[in-house]
Each structure stands twice: as C-alpha cells, then as structure tokens.
Structure 1
Amino acid sequence: MKRILVPVDFSGDSLKALRFGIYLSNKLDCHLRMVHVQKSEKFEIPFHFEELKNEIIHTVQEYFEKLIKLHSADYCVRNGVFDFKIRTGSVYREIVNQAKYGDAYMILMGAYGASGFEEFFIGSNAVKVVTNSTCPVITVQKEFTKGQLKTIVMPIDASTDTRKKIPFVKEIASRCNAKVHILGVHETSDTNVIGKIEHYMKQGEDYLKDANIDYVKSLRKGDNNTYSTLDYAREVNADLIVIMTEQAESSINMFFGSYAQQMINRSEIPILSIPND
C-alpha cells in the first residue's frame, strides 16, 4: 500500500495539511505518516498547537499520540496505518530522506509553518523540499480551507516533460471524482510552438477520455505562464494545480527555477509538483 507523508510542526497550517492528507489518504487508499523534524534533541513546546492547547503534554511523541487519537476516526483506509516519525537535523533534508527511505507516494505539506517554533517551512524550506524530493509534493498555502479535490488545473506547455504529469493527474482525478482542466499556456505567437502545445493537450485529452474522467480544454497566451495559470485557476475555483518541478531548457520558461518558487509562494491554491525523474 502506498504512503502519504505529512510534515507537521504543530502550527495551524501544518494541521490543515494533515487534514487534507487524511482526505487524500482515504481517497487514494494510502498509509498516512506524520513526520516532525527537530533541530536538536531538546524539546520545545509548540505553542501554536491550538487543537490541543488545553492538554498537558511534555514530548513530541505525546503530541503525535494525541494527534492520532484526535484524527483516527477520520482516517478510514482499510488495513491502513496512521503513524508518525520524529527526526533530527536539517528540515528539508530529513523530510526528503524520510520520503525516500520510507517509500512515500507523495509529500503533503504546509508551505508555511509556526513562526518562532523552528521556523519550519518559512521561506525556502518548502521550495527546497519540492526541488529535492524524488516523489510528488503538494504544498498547501495558509489560505487553504476546502479540504477536498473537485477541480484540477493541469497546465501544458511546449516542453516534452510537461506530459509526465498526465498519469498522476488521471489517478487523482479518478479517485476523487474530480474534473480536469487541460490548460495550454504559451508566451509566444509562434505557430509551431502553439501547434506542439495543442498536440500535447490532445494526448492528455485522449488519456483522460479513456479513463472516463470529466475534462475541459482551454488555450491561453500571456506574458508569464505562471500568472496565466494562476489567473485561470482562480477563475474556475480550482482545488489543485499540477506542475512539473522543472522543465527542459527548451521550454518557454514555464515553472523553471524561479517560476516553481513563484507558483508556490503566490498561489493560495494547493500546488502539486511532480519531479521529472
């Protein structure tokens, strides 16, 4: 059985990610594992942990045990395991290593964490996890409130790698009964580039059609593919945007390098980043 890994720093945002992780685990039939990374063996009280603010708890392990007790009724995977792991060291390295050696199907994490308590995901840590992970990563923003997936935006550009996200989108859409928006995006008027994008969109369409997944197609030109995608996703009230972590050098600057960071930092909609490997 596959496993979803949810990093938890006991902030409200990381607990939003946990609840979303429970939802996806139920839909995808996955084990669910929480992970907390300490900078040292010394225990610090996670004062942002509102859900158990009246509890007297002395260790990280006790906090996790309380969390499992609090949420176990919502985790409904037959023969599934809902557990936790505590690691010490560099935040992003330990999360990536836990996902790798724990054979995680995906990481689902808050893009921001508790200010003052290990500064868990503040700034570059979320991006570092995304760019170093060998498995897909969903980043959940602080504005996130929905907790379910009904509308997925799948941007398609002119790079060959852009199509690698299609099978993953198909599986999630099928399990969640979600509608997929196949969004072709480009920053040029070159008919060869546009033709290639339309061809890739048709391949995605055929793939989803064969799986009986509801979908629509749209093609948009703009100055910046990241912003074009975000604008479209907001228009259709999307629950998830799926991108590749990196694109080939021949791509038209879609989600390459700083664009992936822009997407994670600017989107209030959860972002699923899929590695090329």
Structure 2
Amino acid sequence: METNNRHILLPTDFSDNAWSAIVYALKLYALESCTFYILHSAHGSLSSISDKYSRVYEEVKENANTNLLELKTLAETANANANHDFEIILSTESLYRAIDTTVKKYNIDLVVMGTKGATGAQEFLFGSNTVKMISKMRSCPILIIPEDYDFVTPKQIAFPSDFNRFYGATDLDALKDLASLYNSKIRVVHIETKEELTEVQEHNITTLESYFGEFEHSLHWVPDYSKKANDIKSFIEELEIDMLAMVNYKHSFIEKIFNEPVIKKIGFNPTIPFLVIPG
C-alpha cells in the first residue's frame, strides 16, 4: 500500500455521529498526507420521489450538495494539516452501492464511518444494517467509530484470530498501515475452543508472527467461557485496547460473532474503533 498519500472515504448523513467519525479520521491521520472524500447518499430522500425531473427532486439534491459543501468547509476549518485535501461526492445510489462505487473509482484505502446516524435506526446503526454493510463490503477495509468516541492514540490494537485461516502477504496491510501510524502494539487474541492447536493453526501462527515482525506484538490465549463477543469485550477492558481489528471471510471469527442470536437481535456494540478487513 502506498503511504505517500492515502485516500480515505468518509460517508455522512450529516448527523453528529457521522461528524464525530470524520473528526476521528482527521486526528488519526493528523501527520499524514491524505485526500478525504466526503460522501453522502441521497438515495433514501430521493427514493420516494417518482419523477426524477421534478423540481422537488432537484431541490433535495441541491440541499444535500449545500450540506456537503458546508461540511467540507467545516472539516477544512477544523483541520490543521496542509497536506489534507477534501473532495465531496453526492450519490443517488444506496449507501452500500455509493460506497462501493466510490471505493473503486478513487482507489480508496479505508472507509471511516460512524455507528449510527440522524435517524437512529437507519443504515448507520451498528445493528443489522451495518452488519449487512460489513458482510457485503469486499472491496475495502472499514473503520467503524463508536458514537461519541473521543480520539485516543491507538497504542494497542487487538487482532482476534482462530488461526484456521492462512493470511496472504497483503491481507493484513490495512492493519499494518494503521499500526505504523503510531507504532502501535498488536495483540493477537486466540479464544480457545479446543485444547490443542492443529498443524494448520501452528503454521498460521508462525506466518502471522512473521508478518507482524516489524511491530511490537504478542499472543494471548483466552479461554472460551461464554459468548465470543463477551470474551473480546473483557479482553479489551483488561489490556486497555484502543482499537479492534478483524478479518471478515466466510466462516470467520467475525461471522461467528455476528451470527450469535444476541448480536443478530441488538447488534454488536464495540466501545472502541473497529477495523473490518475484507477476507
């Protein structure tokens, strides 16, 4: 991954939560050269208007564009880095399609978004809709920022793994890139489901250690006493973890968490920024 200029996508619905995620991104990359793309999907507002050539349709788009311009000005004012550039994008596609299109068009390195928006229970809620977004997004890593989360330097990043998956050399670039920003320590967490590791798991541990060789890192074994989401929450609190990172692939750890009945019902509610890397 090129580190000279990062391309960061910031979806917004103009809510306070979305703005908090933007502020987090600006602080996270405070010392880096970045182009930030502020994206708004007007699909929800426009879908009820049948005539695409009507004055009402145009007014909705004009209002959204005005809001985007104001948000861009606000971001530029709140930002002290001369190496930060801002672009605005207004899309009429659904949120997922708008993000996917923008990721591919502008070679986006990372999507940074909030957990829920102005409506509280629409597409930004980190319940079923955001879980769907995470499940579908295969083109780019997503960093999800909890509501009202104030920026904390990510000194420690937790990376849960069952060690059943072999990671290619570039699969963990997003995690390594974030760790490189503040020389973060990577804590690899294994929630034990069996007493002994298989040969495949042993091999994958060795490979992981080689990938993380340039960073301070450690391995942690956590007994599988209860629901995995609870185990991770306890680990985050005990070791004062500042960011959680997971790879999302079929039958992955993250998929198992999201398939827990309680998660399906109320959503997964991490208390720290959560990096989801497509597998």
Confirm or deny a common fold (TM above 0.5): yes
- TM-score normalised according to structure 1 size: 0.79
1:215 corresponds, among 205, 214, 217, to: 217
Aligned residues of 2:11 and 2:38 also touching (Cα < 8 A): yes
Note the 1:15-164 alignment, pairs <5 A.
Answer: 15-38=19-42, 39=44, 40=46, 41=57, 59-75=63-79, 79-115=83-119, 119-122=122-125, 123-133=127-137, 134-161=139-166
Equivalence for 1:236: 239
Seen in structure 2, the aligned counterparts of structure 1 residues 99 and 60 have a Cα distance that, compared at 3 Å, is same
Equivalence for 1:48: none
Q: Could you tell me how far 1:260 is from its partner in structure 2?
A: 7.3
Equivalence for 1:267: 270
Single out whichever of 21-30 and 134-143 deviates more from structure 2. Answer: 21-30
Q: Could you tell me how far 1:206 is from its partner in structure 2?
A: 3.3
Q: Could you tell me how far 1:15 is from its partner in structure 2?
A: 0.7
Aligned residues of 2:34 and 2:83 also touching (Cα < 8 A): no
Equivalence for 2:255: 256
Q: Could you tell me how far 1:44 is from its partner in structure 2?
A: 6.3
CA-based RMSD: 3.0
Equivalence for 2:54: none
User: Which deviations, in whole Å up to 9, do the C-alpha atoms of 1:205-224 show, x marking residues without a partner?
Assistant: 33333x2x222321112144
* Matched residue SS, 1:97: helix
1:6 corresponds, among 1, 4, 10, to: 10
- TM-score normalised according to structure 2 size: 0.78
Letter in 2 for 1:183: V
User: Which deviations, in whole Å up to 9, do the C-alpha atoms of 1:85-115 show, x marking residues without a partner?
Assistant: 0111322222222222222111111121111
Seen in structure 2, the aligned counterparts of structure 1 residues 13 and 162 have a Cα distance that, compared at 3 Å, is farther
Q: Could you tell me how far 1:74 is from its partner in structure 2?
A: 4.5
* Matched residue SS, 2:190: strand
Seen in structure 2, the aligned counterparts of structure 1 residues 135 and 196 have a Cα distance that, compared at 3 Å, is same
CA distance in 2, matches of 1:42, 1:265: 37
Q: Which runs of 5+ in 2 are unaligned?
A: 47-56
User: Which deviations, in whole Å up to 9, do the C-alpha atoms of 1:157-193 show, x marking residues without a partner?
Assistant: 122245765433222111222222121223222x134
Single out whichever of 156-165 and 266-275 deviates more from structure 2. Answer: 156-165
CA distance in 1, matches of 2:25, 2:104: 18
Letter in 1 for 2:40: H
CA distance in 2, matches of 1:259, 1:173: 25
CA distance in 2, matches of 1:67, 1:198: 49
Letter in 1 for 2:67: Y
Equivalence for 2:181: 175
CA distance in 2, matches of 1:92, 1:64: 18
Q: Could you tell me how far 1:198 is from its partner in structure 2?
A: 5.1
Seen in structure 2, the aligned counterparts of structure 1 residues 44 and 240 have a Cα distance that, compared at 3 Å, is farther
Q: Could you tell me how far 1:82 is from its partner in structure 2?
A: 1.0
Single out whichever of 171-180 and 12-21 deviates more from structure 2. Answer: 171-180
CA distance in 2, matches of 1:182, 1:199: 15
Q: Which runs of 5+ in 1 are unaligned?
A: 46-57
User: Which deviations, in whole Å up to 9, do the C-alpha atoms of 1:126-180 show, x marking residues without a partner?
Assistant: 2232222210011112152235322210112122245765433222111222222
Q: Could you tell me how far 1:77 is from its partner in structure 2?
A: 5.1
Aligned residues of 1:25 and 1:77 also touching (Cα < 8 A): no
Aligned residues of 1:154 and 1:183 also touching (Cα < 8 A): yes
